[in-house]
Chains A and B, each alone.
Chain A
Amino acid sequence: MTEFIHPGFVLIAGAMLLPFFRGQALKTYLMIVPVMAFASVLNMQHGIYGVVNFMDWQLTFGRVDALSQVFGYIMTLMCIIGSMYGLHVKDPKEHMAAWMYVGGSLGVIYCADYITLFIFWELMAFSSVFLVWFRKRKESLPTGFRYLLVHTAGGLILLAGFVLRYKATGALDFNLLDVDHPTLYTYLIMVGFILNAAVPPFHAWLPDAYGEATVSGAVFMCAFTTKTAVYALARGLAGLDILIVLGVIMALYGVVYAVLENDARRLLAYHIISQVGYMVAGVGIGTQMAINGACAHAFAHILYKGLLFMGCGSVLYMTGTSKFSELGGLYKKMPWAFVFTLIGGLSISAFPLFSGFVSKSMIVYAGFEEHLYWAAFGLTLASAGTFLHTGLKVPYFIWFGKNNCSKETWERAAEPPWNMNVAMIVASFLCIFIGLPAFGGQFGYQLLYNLLPYQPEAADYAHHVYSSYHVSESLQILLFTALGFFLLIKKLAPEPTISIDMDWFYRKGGRVFIWLARKPIQTFDTWFGEVYRNVGLYPLMTTAKFWSWFDWHGIDGFVDGLARLVRSVGAKLRTVQNGRLQYNIYYAVSIVALLIVAYVFG
């Protein structure tokens, strides 16, 4: 067997051949291909593979080292679990989109130059959008377009960043940038990456799209885009100080919006932002301990967040709703889905004996070590919020609490199909297993720590993780958060609202502009239009008449010309607004790409 088979290519080729399978054969196929991708990761040896010369550039598809391996490992594993969860989905297109998407992620993980990275980066956006569209609700289409629009913009910023770098240094390699002397291109690349990591203010696409995705589509989406971005940040921008600030802000931002959220899946989406905040902060701290923490947390996060999306997704699948204000008391109907979701909730909250406990704290620990006390305490504060929502609010208001179910919802509610349960059992098992103590051997968290890029630091932290201080600290924070939750539970009763977030600017902002173009500017224009006609009627005035005209109308005419210009621009933009969004995206991409090409080769 050759040493390197690209797992991304396995999945992409698998997706291409998928339409040839039907019925039972399709189900078998859906299991075999992700397992093959996982096997190809297990089989890899460190090294550089798949180097292709294309025009003047050298493209590298397979850089295998400890950092790429930990991500490759968990992503292919999650692909197996996600495919299992979606096994009942009959539409082959949805499976194809999911695999192409994972293939895109793996392409980014194993590439070693920006051109390859960019191609796979775009593949992720353009394939995952189908996981939103296939929900086939009225809102799915515009939501998908918004998702695509934001990611295309982000991709273009990234493109601009690495092309500028190419122009300045002639290098296209995807390695650690000079973070101590950041330049314009460093920041452009950073913006491209952090948009995919959902760092505020570039985060609103995440709850928007993940709340609208198909039940099994969301399980895939929650695992790959943001964690691929974390990998890209860890590879290219580790130690960039501003990421610490952004990471702590996003950890808290997600918590605030999660309090307000009424939809379980959107709440979980806000908690992705919060959790990725830990990883972004870890990358910003940039020490070997912190990078280890970011990787370990990404690993644990993919499993427990997948599990949470599976649990809440199964409620949505069975009952048709995921809103707290339309659920409650479901423990009688779906007790096992409750247990699985609770395991996910305890894992994300970093309860001792669950996966988050051995990964999240490593980042906080690295913050304390670097004397970044504000960051460490800020992240600990966010972890109280995590338990408050994901560990308490989600299970309580879906499975207990006031029963808000309609008669129809209640009748539909039941345990989900077997394949969903199997996927949740596997994910639950892994969430617990990697959180267990190692007992001095190859067991529990040690198996996760073995995968981390910096082994001495991992061994160092292994002494600390189950110390009495850490266990006591975690239990106190979590249990006293629970006390606060039950004392203030009335305040947390679900409210049937949506929360305005940064997406307001591209959902409503455009309308404000149209209103401006229609109302005040139009009134202004009609008024001056009258004057303008008069101007047109007397082109050959005598000098005296000219001057008298100028006194009366000249200045106004100039102003009118300006108004006309503004209105015509307004009208153009209005057509852009009303026109079909995909063409606009296409135009935007083409224009920017042309500009960049002209700049580089001109």
Chain B
Amino acid sequence: MLLKLIDYLRDRLKMVIRLCYVVLGLLVIYDVTFVDKHAAHTWPEKLPGWWAFFGFVACVLIIILSKWYGHVHWFGGKFQIMSPEDYYDD
């Protein structure tokens, strides 16, 4: 049953993706129109769709900076944080 549901959704992937975009849009509209922002502590939080912006930028930054950190050759040499799996083997 569960398997059928997953396959059903996968067969209609385009529609599912479109639906997700609609949800994202509605969420920002909801934030701008309905949400009571008295609980916000700082000024940027009061900007429309601030947390959507924050979430997206955070995600992109985390991926790009982390991958850079893992791949960059440190100390100008061979040393990389992401090393072959046998790095510690003799």
Contacts and interface: CB of A to CB of B under 8 A. Distances in A.
6 contacts: A380-B54, A384-B62, A469-B38, A480-B56, A498-B85, A500-B83
Interface residues of B, number: 47
Contacts of B69: 256, 260
B39 A470 contact: yes
Contacts of B39: 464, 467, 469-470
B2 A497 contact: no
Interface in B19-71: 20, 23-24, 27-28, 30-31, 34-42, 45, 49, 51-56, 58-60, 62-67, 69-70
B2 A336 contact: yes
Task: Tell me if A's interface is mostly helix, strand, loop or mixed.
Answer: helix
B63 A491 contact: yes
Contact of B36 (A376, A467, A477, A481): A467
B51 A477 contact: yes
Please classify how large the interface on chain A is, using the bins under 10, 10 to 19, 20 to 34, 35 or more. 35 or more
B62 A468 contact: no
A480 B55 contact: yes
B84 A477 contact: no
B8 interface: no
Interface of A: 255-257, 259-260, 331-332, 335-336, 339, 368-369, 371, 373, 376, 380-381, 384-385, 388, 464, 467-470, 472-473, 475-485, 488, 491-492, 495-500, 507-508
Contacts of A369: 41
Contacts of A479: 23-24, 27, 52, 55
Contacts of B75: none
A468 B35 contact: yes
A335 B6 contact: yes
Contacts of B15: none
A477 B58 contact: yes
Interface of B: 2-3, 6, 20, 23-24, 27-28, 30-31, 34-42, 45, 49, 51-56, 58-60, 62-67, 69-70, 79-85, 87-88
A385 B61 CA distance: 10
B60 A484 contact: yes
B31 A497 contact: no
B41 A373 contact: yes
A485 B59 contact: yes
Nearest to A497: B82
Given A470-B39, A476-B31, A332 B3 contact: yes
Contacts of B40: 469
Nearest to B4: A335
Given A255-B66, A479-B27, A481-B56, A339 B34 contact: no
A252 B38 CA distance: 28
B2 A259 contact: no
